[in-house]
Structures are given as structure tokens and as C-alpha cells.
Structure 1
Amino acid sequence: MISVTRLEHACADAWPAQVDEPLGEWRLRAAGGFTGRANSALAVGDPGRDLPAALTAVCEFSHHHAISPLLQTVRGGPIEHALPALGWAPQDDRPAGGEVAVLLGPAVPPVPVPGHRVEVRAEPTPGWWELTVGRQQPTDAEREVLTGGDPVGYGLVTGPDGTRGAVRGALGGGLLFVARLAVRPQHRRTGLATALMAGIGTWGERHGAPACVLQVSADNTAALTLYERLGFREHHRYRYWAPCEDRAR
């Protein structure tokens, strides 16, 4: 069984921030505000100092990089019980949901979907960017986060109307980390999401990844149902915490 610590650090390696500094076994990350993962302190393991001092270091790092202090913790983990008394509260109102389920599953789904040709490229196309970040030219932070890692694969399905579906796959800790799966609304419920998972999974298997990792909002019932059907099971959950004084600003 893969430990929570190993899995979280593997995910962080596959989703690199522009700035990533160690705080003991914690990781202080910043990327211009693009995504919570790349702009939070990964609070897994021993920060090398007591918890109040570690939280102060998180706030100082965040303010230095002009982002709001944010802590990523394992749900029910060893530090969560102490955070409220230290003035931190869960961010239950985040747009992507208050909790994220970390799923493990096979690198290649058992039944690829015929009729969809998935191409995995070494570089993202303008259509891939448009579908995953909403424009054909990403910001510097978006580009660095989504192209960071080695290797990274950019899966897409195109048709006469342009890019219909896209997905990102990256290797970290010997695992395939899959993110940014997106399908245009008019092409949903056609098997395209499953085809993209099969395509990026085959790419990951060729690069030696024995298993696949996904991070999905615990509120996203449709996505969780899809991934359960593809053989994924929940490993653990994480959530974000913020200092109450920063949330009140």
C-alpha cells in the first residue's frame, strides 16, 4: 500500500509550482495564484519546528510571494485537530469544493472506447490550452505549472470543430498523475472522457507507471462515478485551511 506521504509528494512533483521550498518535510509552494495545490503549503510530515512556528513560516512565505496563506492537509491527519485553536479554519467555500478525494487506479482502463482517437503529444497545442485554461495563450504561471515535470503528456481528441477533449498526464514517484481532464459540453456523454483516460493511461504505461493517481472534488459525483467504473478507489482526502485573519480581509 502506498503511504499518504509518498503519494502526496509524488502528486506535488507531478504538479510543480513555480516556487517550491522545503520546510522540513513540508513544502512551501507558490505559482501566481494558479490552483490551490501550487499555491499552498503541503503539510505532510514533520516541518522541523513546532506547529505555531511552522504556520508563521507559511504566512511569511505566502505574503512574500503575494498569495494568500493556504495549508493543504490530509483530512483527519495529525495536525488538523490543532489548527482551529491556532486561528486557522477549513476553506469549505472553495469553487472546486471543500474536500478533494485522492484516487488510485489502473494505469490503463480495461476497455478503451472505440471511435475516439486519442493523441498524446509532448507539447500542448493551442486547442489543448483553450480547453484546459480557457484561452489559447496561457499565463506564465499556467504554463509553468502545466508544462513542469518530466515527462508530461498532453492528450487530446480533435474533430472538424476543433479540440473536443483534453487531459494532462505526468510522472511522479513512478506513478501516473492525471489532471485537467476536460470535454466540450456538446461532446459529453459520448465516451470521450473514458477514451482520454485510456489514451493517457497507455502513455503512462509505456513510461513505466504501474498505477494512476487522480484528485477529484469530493462533491463531483459524476466524475467519482466514472472513475469508480474504471477501477479507481479512494486512498485518502485532503482539504485546505486558511488563517482566519486572512479570510476576513
Structure 2
Amino acid sequence: MDTVTRLEHDCAQAWPALVDEPLGQWRMRAAGGFTGRANSTLTCGDPGVDVRMALRRAAGFAERNGIRPTLHVVIGTALDSAITRLGWTVNLDHPGGAESLVMTGPLAPGEHEGAHVDDTPSTPWWELTAGSGRPTPAQRHVLSSAAGVGYGVLERHGQVVAAVRGAIVGDLLHVARLAVRPEYRRQGLAVGLLKTLYSWAHAKGATRQALQVAEHNVAAIRLYEGVGCTEHHRYRYWIPC
């Protein structure tokens, strides 16, 4: 596989959908509507059939699983250039943003007071990363069913004020769901928590990181640039016209 395809598949491995069916090298994914990545067909690699047939199968899979037909397409690929002619359009109304950056970088381990990484997610961790201490089955599967997941939290005055999810695939740390309570933002806590997560991952053999962030989320992009990440490539979500 080329570098982009391998990275996309590693990220998909770190973010498991409830249903994940192969179509050649494509991955048709569904997770009850929780997140775009887990409810789209990853179109990296060879689908093993004619592209028009592959698109029909992806749409059929989505309909069978009760989600909107959606394709996850890397910008600049052959499919990205041809997909408009095949009857699909960019989903400009996608709740997470139509276009995302995949950023990569080295690990810069460190420590921060009050920060640690747990082997199991706590109720406060769920509250910050999923919006509720009682996650849905889809949320629980996507965020906590994979092997090699760490649940980072940072505490102040006995309260969890920041949380993050890290999943290790090979030597790659996949970073996701970073959240800081509004009243604790702009205090360097996100960076401190990330560095603590990097230490945890480094001890388990990770040497690099990757993450996905919506192109409109400028603050998050600047944060990740500050810990050494740069843009690797971009992808967009497409839906039938």
C-alpha cells in the first residue's frame, strides 16, 4: 500500500466501527451515526470491482445499516477527480465538517501535574469525550473496544477537566477526542495532557502520531502544530446527489 492508504487504514483500525465490511481494500463502516469516520466507506486502495459497482455496493451497505450513504475520499486521488461525474457531491452540511486534515508528527513525551492515562474509561472521561457518562452502544464500541487504547485525563481540584483518547496501532499513536472544559482552556492543559499521553504511548512502543481534524477547526490545528504535527493529506465526505 502507498503511504496515504496505509495511514488511513491504520487510523481506521484505531477507530473501529460497529460494522466494518471489506470491499476489496475499501472498508464499508457503520456505527449508528456516531462520527463521520465510523459511518462512511473508506475508499483507499482497490475495491476489487468496477468503481461504479463499488459505489452502488457502498450505498447499499449504508442503506442496510440505516445510515446515509457516505464516502471518505482522500483529496487528490483518482476517485476524488472522477466522483462528481459518478453522481456524488461533497457533503457540505456534514456535522463534523466536509473536509478534514490528517496530521502526523513525532512524539514528544513529558509529564504534567494531575495528568495520567488509564486502562479503562471513567465516567468523567465519558462525559468529556462523548457528552454523557452513559455512552450509547455505538460510542462504547468506537471509543473503547479496540486493543491498545489509553484514556487520558487531567484533574484539577478533584475534577477531571481535560480528557483525550489514544489508540496504538503498530508504532502509531492515533489521537482523538481531546476535550478541555471551557473554564480551563488557554492554560496549557491540552498540551500537558498530550505530552502525558505521548509518554504512555512511547512506553508501549509508539514512535509517531496521527490525528484527524476538521479544516475549519483552526484552534485545534494550531494546537497540534505546536506539538510538532504537520499536514499529511486531506479527505472529504461525499454523498449521492
Tell me the residue number matched to 1:106.
106
**1:223 counterpart = 2:220:** yes
Provide the rounded CA distance (Å) in 2 between the counterparts of 1:46 and 1:82: 15
Provide the rounded CA distance (Å) in 2 between the counterparts of 1:53 and 1:24: 12
**1:165 counterpart = 2:162:** yes
SS at the partner of 1:131? helix
Provide the rounded CA distance (Å) in 1 between the counterparts of 2:17 and 2:236: 18
The answer to whether the 8 Å contact 2:30/2:62 transfers is yes
The answer to whether the 8 Å contact 2:118/2:150 transfers is yes
The answer to whether the 8 Å contact 1:28/1:41 transfers is yes
Tell me the residue number matched to 1:239.
236
Residue 141 (structure 1) aligned to one of 116, 122, 138: 138
Tell me the residue number matched to 1:247.
none
Provide the rounded CA distance (Å) in 2 between the counterparts of 1:194 and 1:113: 10
Q: Identity, % of aligned pairs?
A: 50
The answer to whether the 8 Å contact 2:103/2:229 transfers is yes
SS at the partner of 1:108? coil
Cα drift, residue 117 of structure 1: 2.1
* Aligned pairs, number: 240
TM-score, normalised to structure 2, is 0.96
Cα drift, residue 159 of structure 1: 2.4
Give the letter aligned to residue 242 of structure 1: I
Give the letter aligned to residue 236 of structure 1: H
Provide the rounded CA distance (Å) in 1 between the counterparts of 2:229 and 2:194: 12
Provide the rounded CA distance (Å) in 2 between the counterparts of 1:148 and 1:5: 23
Give the letter aligned to residue 136 of structure 2: T
Q: What are structure 2's unaligned runs of at least 5 residues?
A: none
Cα drift, residue 154 of structure 1: 0.0
Deviation above 4 Å: which 4+ runs of structure 1?
Answer: none
Cα drift, residue 167 of structure 1: 0.1
Cα drift, residue 98 of structure 1: 1.9
Give the letter aligned to residue 47 of structure 2: P
Give the letter aligned to residue 196 of structure 1: L
**1:176 counterpart = 2:137:** no
Tell me the residue number matched to 1:46.
46
Cα deviation digits, residues 213-244 of structure 1 (max 9, x gap): 01111111111111112111110001100011
Provide the rounded CA distance (Å) in 2 between the counterparts of 1:113 and 1:122: 18
Tell me the residue number matched to 2:94.
94
SS at the partner of 1:83? helix
The answer to whether the 8 Å contact 1:113/1:194 transfers is no
Q: What are structure 1's unaligned runs of at least 5 residues?
A: 245-249
